[in-house]
Amino acid sequence: MIRVGLPGALFCYSFNPFWERFFRALGATVVESGMTTAEMMDDGAREAVSEACVPVKVYHGHVRALAMESDAIFVPRYVSVDRGTVFCPKFLGLPDMIRSSMQGIPTLISPRIDMRNGLLELARACGEIARDLGMPPLKGIAAWLSAIRSGDTLACVRPADPIIRPSGAQGGRLRLAVLGYPYAIYDRFMNMDLLRKIVRLGVDVLTTEMLPSNLPPLPSYAKHLFWHYSERVARAGRYCIETRCVDGLIHVTAFGCGPDALTGKIIDMDASRHGMPFMALLLDEYSGEAGLMTRLEAFVDMMRMAGGKRIRRVAPDVG
């Protein structure tokens, strides 16, 4: 049975549940790289081009970890999964970056995922994957059908860890929105277990994935962000600020991220316009825990001092 490696970084937090079902339906053995480790981070930083952002370096580390255990590694070229946004250019060029900078890795399976013309584009990509694995394309389409029947659509986000789900306004606890791309928010190694550190300070956490999926668009004065994850994060920031469902906001960004220069600025401006405590947290491969804790404690103290002046108006539907 062919072993297909699924790297546990970047879009994995959004889309791997679908791909796991698809590859199993195809008759492959799915090999996952698991959580990011220090070794993966070091390998990725060494093997990726130096200009790459931290999440892309981490992705390289996951590919390296799978190299010995897989016959093929799935590194799709994500272009778009809806009609309104596209992925950042580093997603588009990911298979090329890996092929050009990594030696001694198995074949990469790299279909182009561009669903601007509808869901059938995904079926076409699945047929292409089957062909690349030496199977009839129709077998890929049958596996696609099986995967979408047994688990909604391509875009199914992994459920957030229950311990970080907000407890509502119980006991007047502070609630903090931690906004950023899922691969920065849920990668506990990359972000030094940020969410649990916040919870241990006695503060409830709200992430983008806990908010309603149909967040209202940005107001007309804000630029439309055509990057898939950036648009969602900016909308989440706007929603949290407008509904006052949190007492403060942290925007988690990664060193080397181009789109975040704009995303972070939009949230920052919105927060300062509405008097909401805001902090940007930059992750890089050299970040230290002591510095992170100092900043978090200071920010939470500031939220507590400012807390009496605001009232939460609406609790989000976090069902």
By CB under 6 A, name the binding residues for ligand SF4: 53, 55-56, 88, 90-91, 181, 254, 257-260
Compute the distance between CA of residue 269 and CA of residue 271 in angstroms, rounded to an integer: 5
CB of 205 to ligand SF4, least distance (A): 21
- Tell me how far CA of residue 99 lies from CA of 103, 106, 108, 179, 232, in angstroms: 8, 10, 8, 32, 30
| Half-sphere exposure at residue 12, Cβ-oriented, CA atoms within 13 angstroms | 25
CB of 139 to ligand SF4, least distance (A): 32
CB of 148 to ligand SF4, least distance (A): 26
Closest C-alpha among 279, 313, 77 to residue 178: 279
CB of 233 to ligand SF4, least distance (A): 10
- For residue 147 the two structure tokens come to 């995967």
> Is 175 or 228 the residue whose CB approaches ligand SF4 more closely?
228
Share of the chain residues as helix, strand and coil, in percent rounded to the nearest 5: 45, 15, 40
CB of 59 to ligand SF4, least distance (A): 8
Compute the distance between CA of residue 172 and CA of residue 305 in angstroms, rounded to an integer: 14
Q: Are 78 and 11 in contact (CB under 8 A)?
A: yes
> Is 61 or 140 the residue whose CB approaches ligand SF4 more closely?
61
CB of 14 to ligand SF4, least distance (A): 12
- Tell me how far CA of residue 40 lies from CA of 8, 49, 58, 192, in angstroms: 11, 15, 6, 14
Strand-pairing partners, residue 300, are: none
> Is 19 or 78 the residue whose CB approaches ligand SF4 more closely?
78
CB of 40 to ligand SF4, least distance (A): 16
Q: CB neighbours (10 Å) of residue 164? A: 19
Q: Are 224 and 238 in contact (CB under 8 A)?
A: no
Dihedral angle, C-alpha 195, 75, 102, 254, nearest 10 °:
-30
> Is 56 or 130 the residue whose CB approaches ligand SF4 more closely?
56
CB of 246 to ligand SF4, least distance (A): 23
Element (H, E) at 268: helix 259-273
Residue appearing with tokens 């055509």: 226
> Is 44 or 259 the residue whose CB approaches ligand SF4 more closely?
259
> Is 2 or 255 the residue whose CB approaches ligand SF4 more closely?
255
> Is 258 or 275 the residue whose CB approaches ligand SF4 more closely?
258
> Is 14 or 33 the residue whose CB approaches ligand SF4 more closely?
14
